[in-house]
Structure 1
Amino acid sequence: MIIIIGAGLSGLLTAYRLQKEGIPFKILEARNRIGGRINTVYGANNTPVEMGATWFNKEHKHLKALLVELGIEYFEQYMDGEVFFQRFANSAAETIQIPKQAPSYRISGGTFNLIKTLYQQLAKEDVLLNQSVKEIKLLNYKVQVITNEVFEGNKVVLAIPPKLWAKKILFEPSLPNHLMSIAKQTHTWMEDSIKIAVTYKQAFWQNKNRSGTLFSNAGPITELYDHCNHQRSKYALCGFIDSSFKQIDDVERRYRVIEQLKSVFGEKASEFLDYKECVWSKEENTFEATDVFHYPHQNNGNPIFSQSFFDDQLLISSTESAPEFPGYMDGAVYAANVIAKKIIAAHKV
């Protein structure tokens, strides 16, 4: 039995690969939902908007290969028309020319379509929610994973951000000091991000030859993009706001966002159907406070995470562990593929 901690992209894909080889597993997920930092929510008119992972590019070959394998379509991010840039808080947004860039892509039906497709291939009794892991005991020939229950297996896969398992799980015997030190100093992707999405009846920006793209030094919005669905039949704008705005309440945040949209796109921006947001620092199963500042992607892809420990009883996954594109969905896919191959190879010996 393989015990996988975390039902995000890496954990679910690892399980999917093991199932195809007939290797038994259990996924233990602390949240009351699957997906981890992939979280598509549905606004007015059932419009899918992303509160977590959204974009990828042509270099993300592992993710693209998985989408092809699972028969999931993807589409190019809409960027046609004018782009706005706001230099200062009191300055009007101006149109700018941005250099021609390689396109980014989004998953048709929302990023959660990938999570749902993997999950649907698994037996539901093998994916257990509301299972917050408190302790992992690495014993001779077996592992014990303790939540409010005790689960036993012969290997455990840590498919959650390193900082979380280093700070929240008690290991017996203790993990190597160097590993724990690096893990505690590893930046968790999305941990201090705030995503917002605003749904509309029409893509009013497109009608005026605007791309829906905004870059701002003023805030609260720092980046904003067109977020219509693949068929362009549902309409939204989606992006990030400055993490300092987590200090104010949600009503004030929404007011500031809409005021900024009005100043850039005009009064039509106030005619929204709904507003969604996710302050990731409030997600206890993503955010863990640190004593010192971590720069973006700090220690992501550190070689120590590619090692296995306690005679291969403990394996490390998650996007932060991947040596290729760590911190991205592609990294999560890469990590899952590598870990699954290790387990499958050991199983065949």
Structure 2
Amino acid sequence: MKKNTVLIIGAGAAGLMAAHLLSKAGKKVTVLEARNRTGGRINTVNNESFFKETELGAEFIHGDLPVTLDLLKEAQLPYRSANAEMWRYKDGRFDENSMVIDDWDMLMQRLDELQEDIPVWDFIERYFPGERYEELHNSVWSYVSGYDTADPRNASTFALRNEWEHEEMEAQHRVQGGYCTMINYLSNSCKSNGGEVFLNAVVKQVNWQPGHVVATLTDNTTYEAAKLIIALPLGVLQAKAGETGAIDFEPSIGAHTTAIQQMGFGAVIKILFAFENAFWLDAPHPNMDKMGYLFSEEEIPTWWTQAPNHSKVLTGWVGGPAAWEKAGKTDIELRDEGLQSLANIFNANTEELKGKLIAYRIMNWTADPFTRGSYAYDKVETPQGREVLSKPLEDTIYFAGEYLYTGTAMGTVEAALSSGKKTAEMIL
């Protein structure tokens, strides 16, 4: 049994940020990670000839986010622009920079008048009923499920109002070399300051009392510490007893268990396609080389290029209820849905596209047992849950993760890093 000052479960952005800061401050830190790699929902594909610096998980820095950019500066890691035009494909035609939604101003006005929080789908059906607003219904559903990866039937209207009111089309960035360069920096920093990071370490049980924690792995190895940080994805914390990755707390953590179920956790599937040539540039549209993001009504509705960089890679994205419905599909089934979606959009032959496909990777985060979804979103009862989870249990068990973040960059790496930083500061 190894004794530590702080034990951290989960080597994603939140857990490693906490490990980096605590070990730098002289604490004896051990990180236990269930996967065979660090990074959690960050997973850069960088060692394959077809995919270079391509992200299976988190990909963008959405704006000039302080914690992320400060960390990149500290680690001397450069980043590059990911600014590109947003296009829409509908009714057989491409619209450049056509993201205007009919009745959006009226929607925002009604949102401002709302006094009591309700799920956003209840709000839409109550205040914008009937066929007259069908376009608005479709737009809100696809935006909430696509961008927020949330179920509109559960997502908080107040939280979405806050998000939409503070939405600025800020600069988008990608980390040069991929987000895993940042993860490697945090992990190496922890180790160089005397900390340890163990992979394939699946925690099944935590026995605790004030000031003392014992974590038992599935192979019955045990680790002992004065304090514990749980930096697991919310989907794993919400897993039922006995499911892969679920942790049994002894004694139970009562109010915190209830709070975990009050949080919303989305669903997503991400598809990477590498083609022998950038066939989409041949589409009969003069500015196709400017297209960065493409939104459609296909089975795999959202696609993006590596613009402004030139690349033969296309990334597909499906989130929310549609991703939950597809969670049980095989990689080949998802590949074929992706190819069919692209064939429909670009008026191409599916078999021809399949012939041009030289490599593909499917990341079904929703079916992944150590993630079980995408990232957090607020339900109506989430603020109460977040308040409980933001406070440590008996100054012994702490929680860290993007789901605890309260700023405007919800569901991002910035949110995870901020939470890890805040938790480390509480302990210090």
Give the alignment's TM-score, normalised by structure 2. Answer: 0.69
Distance 1:46 1:85 in 2: 26
1:79 and 1:212 in contact (8 A); partners too: yes
1:220 and 1:245 in contact (8 A); partners too: no
* Cα offset, 1:51, TM superposition: 1.6
What is aligned with 2:263?
A: 186
Distance 2:377 2:277 in 1: 35
* Cα offset, 1:78, TM superposition: 4.3
Q: 1:14 aligns with which of 18, 28, 52?
A: 18
What is aligned with 2:334?
A: 253
Distance of aligned partners of 1:224 and 1:250 in 2 relative to their CA distance in 1, 3 Å threshold: same
Distance 1:166 1:204 in 2: 42
Q: 1:31 aligns with which of 35, 45, 55?
A: 35
Letter in 1 for 2:181: N
The answer to whether 1:335 aligns with 2:407 is no
Distance of aligned partners of 1:136 and 1:75 in 2 relative to their CA distance in 1, 3 Å threshold: same
Distance 2:343 2:247 in 1: 46
Q: 1:282 aligns with which of 367, 371, 377?
A: 367
Distance of aligned partners of 1:57 and 1:140 in 2 relative to their CA distance in 1, 3 Å threshold: closer
- 1:286 is paired with a residue whose SS is coil
1:44 and 1:199 in contact (8 A); partners too: no
* Cα offset, 1:236, TM superposition: 1.2
* Cα offset, 1:4, TM superposition: 0.3
* Cα offset, 1:302, TM superposition: 1.7
After superposition, give the CA deviation of every residue in 1:91-116 in whole Å (9 maximum; x if it has no partner).
42432433593332221112222112
Distance of aligned partners of 1:129 and 1:273 in 2 relative to their CA distance in 1, 3 Å threshold: same
The percentage of aligned residue pairs carrying the same residue is 25
- 1:258 is paired with a residue whose SS is helix
The answer to whether 1:94 aligns with 2:63 is no
Letter in 1 for 2:418: Y
The answer to whether 1:127 aligns with 2:206 is no
Q: How does 1:86-235 map to 2 (within 5 A)?
A: 86=90, 91-98=91-98, 101-123=169-191, 126-147=196-217, 148-165=220-237, 167=239, 168-176=246-254, 178-189=255-266, 192-205=267-280, 209-210=287-288, 211-217=291-297, 219-227=298-306, 232=309, 234-235=311-312
The answer to whether 1:40 aligns with 2:44 is yes
C-alpha RMSD of matched pairs (Å): 2.7
2:20 and 2:190 in contact (8 A); partners too: yes
Letter in 1 for 2:406: P
Distance 2:7 2:393 in 1: 15
What is aligned with 1:5?
A: 9
Distance 1:28 1:317 in 2: 14
Between 6-15 and 239-248, the greater mean CA deviation after superposition: 239-248
What is aligned with 1:49?
A: 54
Letter in 2 for 1:95: D
Give the alignment's TM-score, normalised by structure 1. Answer: 0.84
* Cα offset, 1:31, TM superposition: 1.2
1:161 and 1:188 in contact (8 A); partners too: no
Distance of aligned partners of 1:239 and 1:333 in 2 relative to their CA distance in 1, 3 Å threshold: same
Letter in 1 for 2:415: G
- 1:259 is paired with a residue whose SS is helix
The answer to whether 1:76 aligns with 2:81 is yes
What is aligned with 1:66?
A: 71
Letter in 2 for 1:109: G
2:8 and 2:15 in contact (8 A); partners too: yes
* Cα offset, 1:41, TM superposition: 2.0
Distance 1:115 1:239 in 2: 24
What is aligned with 1:307?
A: 391
Letter in 1 for 2:233: P
Distance 2:83 2:277 in 1: 15
What is aligned with 2:346?
A: 265
Distance of aligned partners of 1:146 and 1:159 in 2 relative to their CA distance in 1, 3 Å threshold: same
What is aligned with 1:291?
A: none
* Cα offset, 1:123, TM superposition: 2.2
* Cα offset, 1:136, TM superposition: 1.3
- 2:263 is paired with a residue whose SS is coil
Q: Report the count of equivalent residues.
A: 327
- 1:19 is paired with a residue whose SS is helix
Between 206-215 and 251-260, the greater mean CA deviation after superposition: 206-215
Between 205-214 and 112-121, the greater mean CA deviation after superposition: 205-214
Gaps of 5+ in 1: 289-293, 345-349
What is aligned with 2:123?
A: none
After superposition, give the CA deviation of every residue in 1:286-331 in whole Å (9 maximum; x if it has no partner).
118xxxxx99443378222221111x11111011122223421111
Distance 1:251 1:41 in 2: 19
Distance of aligned partners of 1:181 and 1:128 in 2 relative to their CA distance in 1, 3 Å threshold: same
* Cα offset, 1:143, TM superposition: 1.2
Q: How does 1:290-301 map to 2 (within 5 A)?
A: 296-298=377-379, 299=382
